[in-house]
Structure 1
Amino acid sequence: MSIAQIGEAINNFDTIIIHRHVRPDPDAYGSQGGLAELIRHNYPHKKVYVTGKSEESLRFLLEMDELEDDHYRGALVIVCDTANQARIDDQRYSEGSLLIKIDHHPDVDGYGDINWVDTTSSSTCEMIFQLFKQNKKLELNNKAARLLYAGIVGDTGRFLFPSTTKATLKAAAELVTYDFNRPDLYDNMYSTPLKVAKLKGYVLQNFTVNPEGYSTIRLSKEVLEEYDVTSTETSALVGLLGDIEGILAWAFFVEEEDTIRVRLRSKGPVINGIAANHNGGGHPMASGASAETWEETEVIANELREVCVKYSEEALN
């Protein structure tokens, strides 16, 4: 794959539809919307759409379009930030004339006629910025810069995660030269509602720490109802246990209507294999999965223990 192929495809199609993954985060919204704004700015005659279920907490970034099936006829479809086809939001993605995948997760599902995967990139937003930089004919506008910056900030944990590289910081340094309100962006991304802050207290009082260096916390439907917090809103708390001394890896088990959502994080042990075992996937240090029962979460906890033990043993050798 070459970036030039993607640029050529964008140039050749008059209708372009951009997808991303279900349960979106700022990188999903940012790469989807940032790419859309980049194309719109440089090709004002083209019809460019973004699709997927709207996420209320991210509506400050952009709004989704409502599409009919006919929109896909003869269209270029680009899927951003989505490792596997099952997690693509709006499953009409295959109904266009050409399909492109742009992603930074491990390439477990090489779908698409054109497939650009860069696991060394901090975020898909950083990849979209790279696409812009390597095509000298493209100009970046303020709207696109804001969206790409938001995605980079989100997926690097405000530049704290090991995925942050020299290239990441150079991209961010250039993006902040554009005219958008960074304090307002940070407020929208990181302000904590009172109810979520109270749930944070519950997490800190109820998480478990095991001698092997792994930790888990259960958030049942009853707990979520008590604090009036949705499953999606709990994502703001997933990094909380990473600050606790002695914890190498941890899991949030969040009960939803028909499944238990599993959020896995690590400061060393590789945990995306665990996610793959339980209908999920992701990065070596940040992954997601799902469990059908609380008994399955115990299996996941045991697998978490095993990778922590292995990591500690290897560190001693």
Structure 2
Amino acid sequence: MNVTAEIREKIKQNDKIIIHRHVRPDLDAIGSQVGLATWIRDNFPEKQVYCVGEDDQSLSYLATMDQIEDDTYNDALVIVCDTANHPRIDDDRYHLGKEIIKIDHHPIVDQYGHTNWVDTEASSTSEMIYQLITENHDQEYKLTTKVAQLIYAGIIGDTGRFLFPSTTPRTFEVASELVKYPFDRSEIYQNLYELEPHIAKLQGRLLDQLAIDETGVVGIKLTKELLDKYQVTVDQSSSLIQVYGNIKGINCWAMFVEEDDQIRVRIRSKGKKINHVAEQFNGGGHPLASGATVYSWEEADQLLATLKQVCSK
């Protein structure tokens, strides 16, 4: 039995399923997590299926999370989507379930599941979920418009609208099947790239103060004071990360966002692999797109210096 058949069999055997994904969710995290949950609910309405983790306001148009008690994990199958290492799993109660399945497309950091399906050749975990729910079934299962929307959103998020090197012929094949469903693709694009006026004003300030050195590495520091001045939330700041990829001379950039007890870091690169740097600073992710956490501005400067070393080689 191959791994997808094994996972489908475990889904059929379990009456209670709780699905997790990584902290600070992106489109692929939500698309794979909620896409899988919605497909299970559609085809097995007698099962209890929950999606857990912190809600992200910017992704609320796609889904919101379920609130469950600890004892809900009793005798539950836990599935973790799009998360390479266990410290990045959102909601650490995942270990309370009776069995864990890991579904992911990131480079392997740790094998925390009883069953591990990792495909680093897949463009996204959402693409893997499409494979899971469509290939070689012993009976017909329906794939609804909502599931198609979620999986498609996850794919375009992790492929940068099919522009990133992770996009493969298989990715286009899957997308061509998904767009046959009547969901609103423009809604996804608008929510991904459209800026509120107050966020655009902050973006203007950051661009006006932009400085690029010989390494092509840029650090963007969003202090609490700056966020408060422009009335931009931590979650909303994520929409600013993409603009630096369009600027000539920038090879790698890190956005530091100050929270109450930590500094959230979003790291992007045009060519140099940077996920190993993120792993040194309490994070991880893709070779060209990762996240990390630091706990002081001094540590933020250390991370930036490490990126400059990588990009100057």
If the length of structure 1 is used for normalisation, what is the TM-score? Answer: 0.94
Show CA shifts across 1:204-227 (max 9, x none): 112321112212221111111111
Aligned-pair CA distance for 1:98? 1.3
Say if 2:192 is the partner of 1:192: no
Partner of 1:5: 6
In structure 2, what is the Cα distance between the partners aligned to 1:241 and 1:180?
30
Say if 2:32 is the partner of 1:31: yes
Partner of 2:257: 254
In structure 2, what is the Cα distance between the partners aligned to 1:203 and 1:167?
38
Aligned-pair CA distance for 1:27? 1.0
In structure 2, what is the Cα distance between the partners aligned to 1:160 and 1:73?
43
Which letter does structure 1 place at the counterpart of 2:222?
L
Kindly report the root-mean-square deviation, in angstroms, between the aligned alpha carbons of the 2 structures. 1.4
Of residues 207, 212, 230 in structure 1, which corresponds to 2:215?
212
Show CA shifts across 1:165-186 (max 9, x none): 1111111111010121222333
Aligned-pair CA distance for 1:16? 0.9
SS of structure 1 residue aligned to 2:153: helix
Show CA shifts across 1:237-294 (max 9, x none): 1121111112211111221111121111101111111111111111110111122221
Residues 57, 235 of structure 2: 8 Å contact kept:
no
Aligned-pair CA distance for 1:78? 0.4
Residues 208, 217 of structure 1: 8 Å contact kept:
no
In structure 2, what is the Cα distance between the partners aligned to 1:182 and 1:223?
33
Partner of 2:79: 78
In structure 1, what is the Cα distance between the partners aligned to 2:94 and 2:27?
21
Say if 2:158 is the partner of 1:155: yes
Which blocks of at least 5 consecutive residues in structure 1 are unaligned?
Answer: 311-317
Residues 265, 291 of structure 2: 8 Å contact kept:
yes
SS of structure 2 residue aligned to 1:101: strand
In structure 2, what is the Cα distance between the partners aligned to 1:182 and 1:245?
29
In structure 2, what is the Cα distance between the partners aligned to 1:256 and 1:38?
35
Say if 2:98 is the partner of 1:118: no
Partner of 1:271: 274
Say if 2:216 is the partner of 1:232: no
SS of structure 2 residue aligned to 1:261: strand
Say if 2:186 is the partner of 1:183: yes
Which letter does structure 1 place at the counterpart of 2:210?
F
In structure 1, what is the Cα distance between the partners aligned to 2:288 and 2:211?
20
Residues 206, 217 of structure 1: 8 Å contact kept:
no
In structure 2, what is the Cα distance between the partners aligned to 1:63 and 1:298?
35
* Alignment map for 1:135-150 (pairs within 5 Å): 135-136=136-137, 137=139, 138-150=141-153
